């Protein structure tokens, strides 16, 4: 596990539609490995390993939970809207970063305190009810720091906790980028004459507008491997029975989704071979429903067979995404198996 690479990626500023800082890190790593790099029209990063006719697409996403500044009021507070699916209850009282075309600025999110809200307001909790405080006294001061249309993300703080847990913002997406870069280093030393591996670091994935299908349409791959994350459901729940079913846990291996919101994986020959290979190699894995939304890629050019490797995490799309080292190492091994099938 390359923790320094993971940390650098997780802390980078890469909201949906403005992934430049993250892309620059990825391009630097690909250049270090002497992998040819191109950019698609949306800003996605594409790397190619090999020159064989059999094309395999390996896909990760670069963006993170993010927002856009939609207004600046007379008191210098910012208002915003979410660009990705986010639970608004996780937004208030957080350190945030505002940036884009202008220089990055620290901010803190706030909402009206509970005892000052009317009855109707108490039941309403949306991102549009959140104020961003940059310390500006008025609108004029605020507009010197930012403007409408700038981006907002959670502020990063990468920490290693006891028992191999790691916490930071953006780990639910950037872990896939780190895994793909580590796999690229393996593939460079194992180049097959019959294959071309196409590494896709897509933009706008968490916003549901991934650029990956454009690459699939152009390259017409034989199959694709999707790197994703999934929320773990292993927290104690006193409201449920003691023998409740746990679908995904941290520390028990990466997830091989049987299906997700838009794609069925379990009926593909590649999925069955991947599961059998993982069993034979003794690699820990879990099976359950995934969270990806990749029907556009799956249905491109008459259909692209897909498998997915997903990293379990707690608190997805928040400032405190938690992953486990064991799951990361499992995902790395499963990704390699999926790539060389």
Contacts of residue 217, defined as CB under 8 A and 6 or more positions apart, other chains included, come to: 300, 301
Contact 335, 327 (CB under 8 A): no
Residue with tokens 């008459």: 302
Q: Output the pTM of the full model.
A: 0.90
Other Cβ atoms less than 10 A from the Cβ of 188: the count is: 16
Residue with tokens 């104020």: 131
Give the C-alpha separation, 337 to 179, whole Å. Answer: 13
* pLDDT tens-place values along the chain, 341 residues long: 999 999 999 999 999 999 999 999 999 999 999 999 999 988 999 999 998 899 999 999 999 999 999 999 999 999 999 999 888 888 888 999 999 999 999 999 987 654 445 555 555 667 888 899 999 999 999 999 999 999 999 998 999 999 999 999 999 999 999 999 999 999 998 877 889 999 999 999 888 888 888 888 888 998 899 999 988 887 776 566 555 555 888 999 999 999 887 788 888 888 999 999 999 999 999 998 888 777 778 778 777 888 999 999 999 999 999 999 999 999 999 999 999 88
| H or E element at residue 182 | helix 171-188
Contacts of residue 231, defined as CB under 8 A and 6 or more positions apart, other chains included, come to: 248, 291, 312, 313, 314, 316
Pairing of strands 105-110, 131-133: antiparallel
Give the C-alpha separation, 162 to 130, whole Å. Answer: 33
pLDDT of residue 116: 46
pLDDT of residue 124: 60
Closest by Cα among 311, 297, 299 to 256: 311
Contacts of residue 288, defined as CB under 8 A and 6 or more positions apart, other chains included, come to: 230, 247, 248, 255, 257, 258
Compute the CA torsion angle 45, 18, 303, 306 (nearest 10 deg): 70
């Amino acid at each position: 596990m390359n923790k320094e690479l993971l940390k650098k990626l997780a802390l980078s500023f890469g909201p949906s539609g403005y992934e430049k800082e993250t892309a620059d890190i990825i391009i630097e790593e690909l250049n270090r490995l002497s992998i040819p790099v191109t950019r698609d029209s949306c800003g996605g990063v594409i790397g190619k390993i090999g020159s064989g006719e059999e094309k395999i697409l390996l896909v990760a996403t670069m963006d993170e939970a993010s927002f856009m500044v939609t207004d600046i009021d007379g008191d210098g507070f910012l208002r915003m809207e979410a660009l990705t699916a986010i639970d608004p209850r996780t937004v208030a009282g957080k350190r945030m970063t505002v940036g884009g075309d202008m220089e990055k600025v620290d901010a803190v999110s706030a909402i009206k305190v509970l005892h000052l809200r009317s009855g109707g307001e108490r039941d309403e909790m949306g991102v549009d009810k959140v104020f961003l405080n940059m310390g500006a006294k008025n609108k004029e001061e605020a507009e010197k720091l930012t403007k409408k249309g700038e981006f907002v993300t959670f502020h990063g703080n990468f920490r290693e906790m006891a028992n191999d847990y790691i916490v930071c913002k953006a780990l639910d997406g950037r872990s896939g980028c780190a895994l793909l870069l580590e796999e690229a280093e393996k593939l460079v030393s194992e180049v097959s004459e019959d294959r071309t591996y196409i590494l896709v670091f897509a933009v706008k994935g968490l916003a549901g507008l991934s650029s990956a299908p454009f690459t699939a349409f152009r390259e017409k791959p034989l199959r694709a491997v999707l790197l994703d994350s999934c929320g773990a459901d292993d927290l104690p729940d006193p409201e449920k029975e003691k023998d409740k079913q746990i679908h995904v846990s941290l520390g028990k291996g990466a997830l091989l989704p049987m299906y997700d919101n838009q794609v069925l994986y379990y009926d593909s020959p590649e999925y069955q071979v991947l599961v059998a290979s993982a069993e034979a190699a003794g690699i820990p894995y879990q099976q359950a429903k995934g969270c990806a939304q990749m029907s556009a890629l799956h249905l491109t050019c008459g259909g692209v067979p897909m498998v997915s490797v997903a990293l379990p995490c707690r608190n997805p799309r928040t400032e405190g995404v938690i992953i486990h080292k064991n799951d990361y190492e499992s995902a790395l091994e499963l990704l390699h198996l999926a790539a060389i099938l």
